Amino acid sequence: MGRTAWIIGGGSGIGAAVARRLAGHEDFTVAISGRRPEKLEQTAAGNPAIRPYPLDVTNSEAAKTGLANVLADLGRVDMMLYGAVAPVRMPAGQYSLADFRTAFEANYFGFVHLTNALIEPMAAQGGGQIAVLGSLAGYYGLPTSGAYSSSKAAIMALAQTMHVELAPRAVDVRLVSPGYVRSELTDGNKRPMPLLMDADEAARRIVNGLLRSGRFEVAFPWRMAMAMRLLRVLPYPVAFGLLRNGLPREK
């Protein structure tokens, strides 16, 4: 019998590449969600195993209805990958509360809305996997990325909490922590992006990690993951010094 996946953020970037990979190389039927129907249609074009379900994750009712539609059509969700993100970047001193809220609504609370609705049916069907796209930027508070880094740190902590809590119900919660990947999110980034990779390569690593390993965290590229882990164990003055060096000099 085939499996089913539901990818949030499946209309572009990493989510779209994972949807295509699952639908092309595995026995999956893949539901994809995001706000823009035309992006979902583009991802699904020519691939009958991919089915679009437009929704806005920041609306808890829409999240419930979206899940009900997916369950009505596909019967079950064996794997959910959460990758919605709001591209918000503000320097300290110019923080906009509205933009911070937008970032947390998409990057964090959307996941809460969806998993609230999904956990019971997933446990009742005998289990499944819930994976969330964190980021290596969630390992440490990065300069100019206040909203992004802190929302990612929050969702990574939530994934750890849920992993332990839901294991007895056979709901396997996983964390995916990529470095820099080419996508709409990084398209406008003018700063250096070391070890930048294509979304297809990221998708290959994510699918392998989620389907063929039992590891809680799928982190890549390994050199970037090691560097960010090292940053966390360094004394603060050393870590802050390294981060300060990456900032543009004041004129």
Ligand X SMILES: NC(=O)c1ccc[n+]([C@@H]2O[C@H](COP(=O)([O-])OP(=O)(O)OC[C@H]3O[C@@H](n4cnc5c(N)ncnc54)[C@H](OP(=O)(O)O)[C@@H]3O)[C@@H](O)[C@H]2O)c1
Q: How far is the CB of 130 from ligand X (least distance, A)?
A: 14
Angle CA(116)–CA(118)–CA(119) in degrees, nearest 5?
Answer: 75
Residue nearest to ligand X (CB): 13
DSSP the chain: --EEEEEETTTSHHHHHHHHHHHHHSSEEEEEE-S-HHHHHHHHTT-TTEEE----TT-HHHHHHHHHHHHHHHS--SEEEE-------B-TT---HHHHHHHHIIIIIHHHHHHHHHHHHHHHTT-EEEEEE--GGGSS--TTBHHHHHHHHHHHHHHHHHHHHHGGGTEEEEEEEE--B-SHHHHT--S--TT-B-HHHHHHHHHHHHHH---SEEEESHHHHHHHHHHHHS-HHHHHHHHHHTSPPP-
Q: How far is the CB of 247 from ligand X (least distance, A)?
A: 19
Report the residue number, 189 or 213, with the smaller CB distance to ligand X. 189
Amino acid at 136: L
Contact between 140 and ligand X by CB under 6 A: the answer reads no
Number of residues that bind ligand X (CB under 6 A): 28
* Among positions 5, 29, 52, 83, the unique one binding ligand X when judged by CB under 6 A: 83
Contact between 13 and ligand X by CB under 6 A: the answer reads yes
Distance CA 60, CA 105 (A): 11
Tokens at 220, concatenated = 């890549």
Is-contact 222 205, C-beta < 8 A? no
* Among positions 39, 51, 113, 174, the unique one binding ligand X when judged by CB under 6 A: 39
Contact between 26 and ligand X by CB under 6 A: the answer reads no
Contact between 145 and ligand X by CB under 6 A: the answer reads no
* Among positions 23, 49, 80, 84, the unique one binding ligand X when judged by CB under 6 A: 84
* Among positions 60, 69, 144, 186, the unique one binding ligand X when judged by CB under 6 A: 186
Tell me the window of 31-39, 73-81, 114-122, 209-217 that interacts with ligand X (CB under 6 A): 31-39
Report the residue number, 119 or 225, with the smaller CB distance to ligand X. 225
Tell me the window of 11-19, 165-173, 223-231, 243-251 that interacts with ligand X (CB under 6 A): 11-19
Site for ligand X in 188-227 (CB under 6 A): none
Report the residue number, 28 or 104, with the smaller CB distance to ligand X. 104
Tell me the window of 35-43, 72-80, 216-224, 239-247 that interacts with ligand X (CB under 6 A): 35-43
* Contact footprint for ligand X (CB under 6 A): 9, 11-15, 34-36, 39, 56-58, 83-86, 106, 110, 133, 135, 178, 180-181, 183-186
